Structure 1
Amino acid sequence: MTRSTTDEAAAPQLPSPKERRRLREAKSLSEEQVAAAVGVTRATVRSWETGRTSPRGRKRVLYAKLIAPEPEALATTTPAAAMTAPAPVPTAPETVPESAAEPTPVPSAEPASEPAPEAAPEVSPEAAPEVKAMVVTEADTGTDTGEEAAGERRLSPAGAFDELYARTAPNLVRQAYLLTGRRALARESVERAFQLAWHRWPEVAVDRDPAGWVRAAAYEYAMSPWHRLRRAHRHPDAPPTEPGKRALFDALLDLPPAYRRTLLLYDGVGLDLPETAAETEASTPAAAGRLMTARAAVAERLPELASAATPAEQSALLHDRLGGLARAEHVPVPQPARAVRTGSEDKARLWTRAAVAGVALLIAVTGLTLHTAPTHYEPPISPAERVGGVPPRGGPQKLTAQDLKLQKTLREQLAHGPERLIPQLR
């Protein structure tokens, strides 16, 4: 047995990812406090609580002691008890995170914190004021993996899809509206994304972040430039009547699509910078540059945003303004999950039938061509052409009618007429 295997066997057992978050919230610890105590970033703590990764070595021991109700409680807790623990009551959504791996310093809002317990003496008791909840935050869109829900109760594929749709579809429509400024297109984008997700459900169901998969598909469809050719989506909907919301609405639509998407993901949804860069298919420095440029452009339209004392206050204020704009506008409710699944299946059947019909037509045309095609090569007959440059005909010419008459007369007189002298031999 190697040393790494021995260390893993001796390491304390951790509860399920969902139970980790419940224990942290029960002890009134924020993600920043846990990250500072263990010595990692906030994104790493989030990945531990969503089941993407698990701590190892010294970090695993510190993390287990930090979230345990008592130092000895975690060692006596069985995995079954951890899986059957009651689910926590949803709290205020998480604010905009900040990763320590950012090459460009991007400010983020920090949630409220309480004095750290005895298990984590390294945590600083100072933190920024808590930011109000936003309807387009990551906590509402449900970034927990499907593996956590499957650990509590087994769901059929349709049931798991319906649960994901009910949890994320309404807020995704609001996000798509902020991204496009068109209500009908926002609803259509979300429904198309979920139809694609149901068509590829074996792939989406095992994804680490099914909600993120659907969100990326909805954003890609909503930002497609081909919608400009459609008469219904050539122009955005009427802006809000309130001056502040209208200024923010116009500022968002004036941004380039890539900058608008980066700002919405970071300050609206609450992704950290590496996750935002990955979803926008850009490098982390490029995503940071887009974010700072977008914030500066929006701050020119919003005086209160430009007058913020610190970048954290600016981020929190922009977070609230985006949430207020998304909540204030009446966005159409998406179709029921059953209708979306039925539409996806109908579309799949339609494309299958079209493909079969196309193949059958191609086979028929090929057979007809082989039946009517000639079996050997027949050179084509060249059309008649006038030939020039031929020399005139030589030799005696053709006798005319008068010449023929004279010839006949001479022949007749030669036999009977005495007028002609016949030469004789001597």
Structure 2
Amino acid sequence: MTQSPAAPKRSSALKQGGSPSLPSPKERRRLREAKSLSQTEVAARVGVTRETVRSWESGRSTPRGRRRDVYAKLLAEIADERAGSGAGSTDRTERAGKRPARRPSWAQNLEPTVDTKEGTTPGRIPVGAAMNGHARPPEPMVRATATSTAAATATRTATAATRAEPAPAATRPAAGSTPAEAFDALCTTCAPGLVRQTYLLTGRRTLAQESVERAFQLAWQRWPEVAVDRDPAGWVRAAAYEYAMSPWHRLRPVHRHPAAPPALAADRAFLKVLLSLPPAQRRTLLLYDGVGLDLPETAAETEASTPAAAGRLLHAREALAEKLPEQAATPEDLHQRLAELSAAEKLQPPNAGRVRTGSEHRTRFWTRAAIAFTALIVGATALTLRSAPTHYEPPQAPGKAISGVPPRMGPGHLTYQDQILHKKLREDLSSGPERLSPLAR
């Protein structure tokens, strides 16, 4: 593998336990085609998407962290198989004194697999305990970023990074385990690191713990969906980040007062500058330089295009390097400061059993509340139907004065003289035909 002149000292770091070196992009594609593997099959083995493998083989990007170890291990196994098949055909010549086929130089730096409780993880155990809560202390881990040229060769510029999320063997549900056991294993493995990441994202300890607990409660409620997900840890991380960065938290009374700052002055200054970044840049910076995701995966998790994610990352790095040149001058310094700041805080991860119990209680409460509300609506509807009238009764129109109508024509009230005359007539014509037909005089 061709290295740039600016990185002669870092080649020794690779041999001493850093990230394993990789062949050139064309050699990666040649080894895959020699094994008759498709990009989809390689992506399934490494735990990435087909587009990521395509970018690795074209030289647009380079794997980092745990995926770099897995990818390098896979390529080394393919190279060993090809070397072994070539050695079998020339067995006699090797017995005669010729040297056997050597392993490629890029494959000699790989370390043996390390057996963990969940299974066998190829390559080195992911480092950066301050970010992922691993039992081992943090140690530097070198990654390489690729820059392709018009020629067939490619140069590598080494930069430091770690993989903050655990290996897929530790996060995916084990075969034959119950849902509760698989969920407890996922929570125990990912919760410590996720709480620290969320604290760097928000700067509030209580909100970080609450966000992670809510994310795992949501994961348990949708466990059939999360259990078959390609990256359960990424599913929970995205849910925790979305809850932690919700703008509605600023309306809560508990957030009216600022959170307690870190104890060290350098940590306070770094956290203040980090929280001053826009939320999108802060999240991209944490996923790329803190968690160790590739640029396409960072863009996918932040729901942005790859150029947009790259622009956010560059702007965030420039802002940190401008305000804190002594702490974030290089990506190595930036990652180290993120790890130190997260490790300095005492954050309690949620308990898996309490998360499952709380999620079940919450689901049971809302189910009962929905049933009670439905019963209330049904009762109110039945009472309305029972007391409603069976026929329509038109309302009485209110009376009002009408102007412009002529007065009513007809006999009016009798005067006093008319009343005397009326009385006299009634007394005189009390009987006889004259009462009916008066005689003319």
Decide: shared fold, TM above 0.5: yes
Match of 1:244 in 2: 266
CA distance in 2, matches of 1:338, 1:351: 20
Deviation, structure 1 residue 253: 1.3
Match of 2:335 in 1: 319
Deviation, structure 1 residue 414: 9.3
CA distance in 2, matches of 1:46, 1:181: 39
Match of 1:11 in 2: none
Could you report, residue by residue, the CA deviation over 1:374-393 in whole angstroms, capped at 9, with x for unpaired residues?
Answer: 22221112223233332123
CA distance in 1, matches of 2:251, 2:245: 13
- Using a 3 Å threshold, how does the CA distance of structure 1 residues 253 and 414 change in structure 2: closer, same or farther? same
Match of 1:225 in 2: 247
1:299-378 equivalent positions in 2, closer than 5 A: 299-304=321-326, 308=329, 314-331=330-347, 333-378=348-393
Query: Is structure 2 residue 414 aligned with structure 1 residue 399?
Result: yes
Aligned residues, how many?
A: 347
1:11-160 equivalent positions in 2, closer than 5 A: 30=19, 33-34=22-23, 36=25, 37-39=27-29, 47=43, 49-52=45-48, 64-66=77-79, 71-72=84-85, 87=121, 90-93=124-127, 111=142, 128=158, 137-138=163-164, 141-144=165-168, 150=174, 154-160=176-182
Could you report, residue by residue, the CA deviation over 1:1-60 in whole angstroms, capped at 9, with x for unpaired residues?
Answer: xxxxxxxxxxxxxxxxxxxxxxxx9997946515644149xx99994554456989xx99
Normalised to the residue count of structure 1, the TM-score between the two structures is 0.69
Query: Is structure 2 residue 226 aligned with structure 1 residue 204?
Result: yes
Could you report, residue by residue, the CA deviation over 1:92-133 in whole angstroms, capped at 9, with x for unpaired residues?
Answer: 538xxxxxxxxxxxxxx98179xxxxxxxx9989763756x6
Match of residue 194, structure 1, among 212, 216, 225: 216
Match of 1:118 in 2: none
One-letter amino acid of the counterpart of residue 33, structure 1: L
What is the percentage of aligned positions where both structures have the same residue?
53
Does the 8 Å contact 2:121/2:169 carry over to 1?
A: no
- Using a 3 Å threshold, how does the CA distance of structure 1 residues 412 and 346 change in structure 2: closer, same or farther? closer
- Using a 3 Å threshold, how does the CA distance of structure 1 residues 368 and 253 change in structure 2: closer, same or farther? same
Does the 8 Å contact 2:207/2:244 carry over to 1?
A: yes
One-letter amino acid of the counterpart of residue 412, structure 2: Q
1:271-290 equivalent positions in 2, closer than 5 A: 271-290=293-312
- Using a 3 Å threshold, how does the CA distance of structure 1 residues 399 and 93 change in structure 2: closer, same or farther? same
One-letter amino acid of the counterpart of residue 219, structure 1: Y
Does the 8 Å contact 2:281/2:313 carry over to 1?
A: yes
CA distance in 2, matches of 1:347, 1:35: 53
Does the 8 Å contact 1:50/1:145 carry over to 2?
A: no
One-letter amino acid of the counterpart of residue 375, structure 2: A
One-letter amino acid of the counterpart of residue 207, structure 2: L
Give the secondary-structure state (helix, strand or coil) at the position aligned to 1:232: helix
- Using a 3 Å threshold, how does the CA distance of structure 1 residues 202 and 413 change in structure 2: closer, same or farther? closer
Does the 8 Å contact 1:146/1:205 carry over to 2?
A: no
One-letter amino acid of the counterpart of residue 376, structure 2: L
Give the secondary-structure state (helix, strand or coil) at the position aligned to 1:299: helix
Could you report, residue by residue, the CA deviation over 1:138-195 in whole angstroms, capped at 9, with x for unpaired residues?
Answer: 2xx3251679663xx5321111111111111011111111111110010000000000
Match of 2:137 in 1: none
Give the secondary-structure state (helix, strand or coil) at the position aligned to 1:304: coil
Deviation, structure 1 residue 359: 1.7
CA distance in 1, matches of 2:42, 2:204: 33
Query: Is structure 2 residue 319 aligned with structure 1 residue 297?
Result: yes
Does the 8 Å contact 2:173/2:227 carry over to 1?
A: no
CA distance in 1, matches of 2:262, 2:171: 41
Q: Which moved more, 1:208-217 or 1:371-380?
A: 371-380
One-letter amino acid of the counterpart of residue 178, structure 1: L
Could you report, residue by residue, the CA deviation over 1:195-248 in whole angstroms, capped at 9, with x for unpaired residues?
Answer: 000111110011000000000000011011111111112344122242321121
- Using a 3 Å threshold, how does the CA distance of structure 1 residues 124 and 318 change in structure 2: closer, same or farther? same
Could you report, residue by residue, the CA deviation over 1:50-88 in whole angstroms, capped at 9, with x for unpaired residues?
Answer: 4456989xx999664236596349x9xxxxxx9x98556
CA distance in 1, matches of 2:291, 2:251: 29
CA distance in 1, matches of 2:15, 2:233: 26
Aligned Cα root-mean-square deviation (Å) = 4.1
- Using a 3 Å threshold, how does the CA distance of structure 1 residues 404 and 280 change in structure 2: closer, same or farther? same
One-letter amino acid of the counterpart of residue 71, structure 1: G
Q: Which moved more, 1:175-184 or 1:231-240?
A: 231-240
Query: Is structure 2 residue 247 aligned with structure 1 residue 216?
Result: no
CA distance in 1, matches of 2:157, 2:325: 26
Normalised to the residue count of structure 2, the TM-score between the two structures is 0.67
CA distance in 2, matches of 1:29, 1:227: 41
